[in-house]
């Protein structure tokens, strides 16, 4: 039982981010002699920005334009739920003027990364641009969760505010909370996937623009102009998505996702949530047999037409559940939730990903989809 105990203790006592920081010293020595003075001068004229998630990298690029030098930590189709920065990531962070984070409890790795990299710049928390109390309310009420008993402490306070007459039951909430703790990502009572709502994205973009302007006042006007132009596109995106889903009868607007990642998107467009394959905000949780049985029952009860898988997840469990429930699994054309897609994909940008997700959902439901306006192409 105790064999290899010493080896296991040695490996597990060093967090990956600290191992990366040890390698950072070697990387600094190698890079100190590389590159030209001209390149250094050119980079030095721009605000050095690091963003955590792919969505934030896209927002920062839209706002910062040519006035920033931008590094995104997460790669396309990857997830912040189980990310460990590399030595190159720590090097970029240590040299940055500004770090853009999602906040809302998403980036469990970020404090250690800041300490390991020596970052001493400005942190812009995009979540500060939205109403987090409203986000907690949406998390608690479960968007419009289909066919479950609703048992939250503040139910009486919000009963009159519900948009749909759907009951909500997380039956195993205590077990789910324990499961969250096992994965060292305690989001508390707030679902961190705030960017999935274009309305929230507007506030996040404005928060980034304000942070950039404070860090580089000389470029403040340019940041504001770019942010205003992009927010205008997000408003048109919201109008287009709303129009597409509004033509689907309410009883057919029921969705099952890979994990609980689309809560705010569903809330915005009055889509009921019948459950997720992984019973968690995270995409590395593991459902129990009871969780799977309950989801299959919910799919059958609410005549769910398809099970969707996010791009950062494996479709294998979804295929098993869909087969048992007798429905289609949409995995060839995945949804972009935790991450944007590769540069040559439909989901390479936030707007592109949201248009893609809308089309994929409506196509699976057999509904008509209008072409997105040219400005969103």
Q: At which residue do the structure tokens 């607007």 appear?
A: 253
pLDDT digits (tens, 9 = 90+) for 317-359: 888 888 899 888 887 668 999 999 999 999 999 999 999 999 9
pLDDT digits (tens, 9 = 90+) for 185-239: 444 589 999 999 999 999 999 999 999 999 999 999 999 999 999 999 999 999 9
**DSSP per position, 148-181:** -----TTHHHHGGG-SS------SSHHHHHHHHH
With a cut of 70, say whether residue 51 has pLDDT above it.
yes
The architecture CATH gives domain 13-129+199-233? 3-Layer(aba) Sandwich (3.40)
Residue ranges of domains in the chain: 13-129+199-233, 132-194+238-376
Average pLDDT over residues 116-135: 97
What percent of the chain has a predicted confidence (pLDDT) above 90?
57
In angstroms, the Cα distances linking 264 to 43, 142, 317, 331 are 37, 9, 24, 22
Q: What integer pLDDT is reported at residue 277 of this predicted model?
A: 86
Q: At which residue do the structure tokens 């109390």 appear?
A: 133
Q: What integer pLDDT is reported at residue 285 of this predicted model?
A: 64
**Residue in 326, 333, 275, 292 with CA at minimum distance from that of residue 309:** 333
Same-fold call for 13-129+199-233 versus 132-194+238-376: yes
Neighbours of 253 (CB within 10 A): 20
In angstroms, the Cα distances linking 238 to 144, 235, 244, 361 are 19, 5, 10, 16
Task: State which of 21-35, 45-59, 301-315, 333-347 shows the largest mean pLDDT.
Answer: 45-59
283: confidence class by pLDDT, cuts 50, 70, 90? low
Q: What integer pLDDT is reported at residue 332 of this predicted model?
A: 61
316: confidence class by pLDDT, cuts 50, 70, 90? confident
With a cut of 90, say whether residue 172 has pLDDT above it.
no
| Cα 151–Cα 153–Cα 159 angle in degrees, nearest 5 | 70
Q: At which residue do the structure tokens 């707030």 appear?
A: 190
Looking at per-residue pLDDT, the higher value among 268 and 26 belongs to 268
- Tell me which DSSP letter residue 103 carries: -
| Lowest-confidence region among 107-121, 284-298, 343-357 | 284-298
User: What fold, for 132-194+238-376?
Assistant: Rossmann fold (3.40.50)
Q: What integer pLDDT is reported at residue 322 of this predicted model?
A: 85
Task: Give the span between the Cα atoms of 85 and 93, in whole angstroms.
Answer: 10
Q: What integer pLDDT is reported at residue 281 of this predicted model?
A: 59
What strand order describes the sheet that includes 328-335? 144-145, 272-278, 254-259, 306-310, 328-335
Mean pLDDT of the chain: 80
Beta bridge partners of 272: 144, 254
């Amino acid at each position: 039982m105790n064999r290899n105990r010493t080896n296991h203790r040695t490996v597990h006592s060093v967090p990956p981010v600290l191992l990366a920081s040890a390698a950072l010293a070697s990387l600094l020595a190698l890079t100190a002699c590389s590159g030209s003075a001209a390149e250094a001068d050119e980079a030095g004229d721009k605000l050095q920005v690091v963003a955590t998630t792919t969505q934030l990298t896209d927002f920062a690029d839209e706002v910062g334009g040519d006035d920033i030098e931008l590094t995104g930590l997460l790669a396309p189709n990857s997830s912040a739920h189980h990310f460990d920065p590399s030595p190159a990531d720590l090097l970029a962070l240590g040299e940055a003027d500004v770090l853009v984070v999602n906040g809302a409890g998403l980036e469990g790795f970020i404090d250690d990364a800041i300490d390991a990299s020596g970052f001493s710049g400005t942190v812009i928390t995009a979540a500060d641009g939205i109403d987090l109390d409203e986000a907690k309310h949406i998390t608690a009420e479960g968007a419009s969760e289909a066919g479950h008993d609703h048992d939250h402490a503040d139910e009486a306070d919000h009963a009159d505010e519900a948009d749909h007459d759907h009951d909500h039951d997380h039956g195993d909430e205590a077990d789910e909370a324990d499961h969250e703790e096992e994965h060292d990502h305690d989001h508390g009572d707030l679902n961190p996937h705030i960017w999935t709502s274009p309305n929230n994205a507007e506030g996040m973009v404005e928060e980034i623009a304000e942070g950039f302007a404070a860090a580089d006042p000389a470029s403040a006007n340019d940041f504001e102009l770019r942010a205003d132009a992009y927010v205008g596109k997000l408003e048109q995106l919201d109008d287009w998505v709303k129009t597409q889903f509004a033509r689907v009868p309410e009883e057919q607007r029921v969705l099952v996702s890979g994990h609980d990642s689309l809560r705010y998107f569903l809330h915005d467009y009055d889509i009921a949530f019948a459950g997720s394959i992984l019973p968690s905000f995270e995409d590395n949780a593991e459902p129990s047999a009871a969780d799977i049985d309950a989801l299959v029952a919910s799919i059958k009860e609410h005549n769910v037409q398809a099970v969707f898988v996010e791009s950062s997840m494996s479709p294998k469990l979804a295929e098993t559940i869909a087969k048992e429930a007798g429905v289609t699994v949409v995995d060839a054309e995945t949804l972009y939730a935790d991450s944007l897609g590769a540069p040559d994909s439909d989901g390479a940008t936030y707007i592109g990903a949201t248009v893609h997700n809308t089309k994929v959902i409506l196509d699976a439901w057999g509904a008509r989809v209008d072409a997105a306006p040219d400005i969103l192409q």
